[in-house]
Structure 1
């Protein structure tokens, strides 16, 4: 079974925000921002075949889950929902050191 992956508008905005943050930290290091974005996209791509392997975001909501995406000494976390037998929706993406989803 293969799932279609969709992004909410705010999740797409999160990717832009995270990318821009890396560029503002070091405008000369475009490669770092590109590698981070590729790592997030590669992590999210795994949800096409195995979204149920990710941890539950809340124990009473079995279809709301979090994907841990390693990158460097920390990484990113993608909050997503398994909508039905065909679709996964990315709701938010944050850096692991951020307090919570935006």
Structure 2
């Protein structure tokens, strides 16, 4: 059933009064909460790494600019390729899609 849901979309629609410039798509609800706590208030979660056609349609009903932000690991890269294949059919001249990857840099202090 979660294939139709987008965590946080209601709040973004309410915050921007149905005039959403862009949406930042993340994997989980905790990501949305963390981003909102840091004043990034245009994020929603697909609740996993697999976006559905239903979710893509809902997202494009609300904005023409989508930014996907997945983990930079193997699973995140695989999910981005799958997402790109699904979303290609929806892209037109007025729609923009971007992909960002999160990487963690570990620094050892001696």
TM-score bucket (shorter structure): under 0.3
The TM-score, its normalising length taken from structure 1, stands at 0.24
Q: TM-score, normalised by structure 2?
A: 0.22
RCO greater where, 1 or 2, for CA within 8 Å and sep 6 or more? 1
Larger Rg: 2
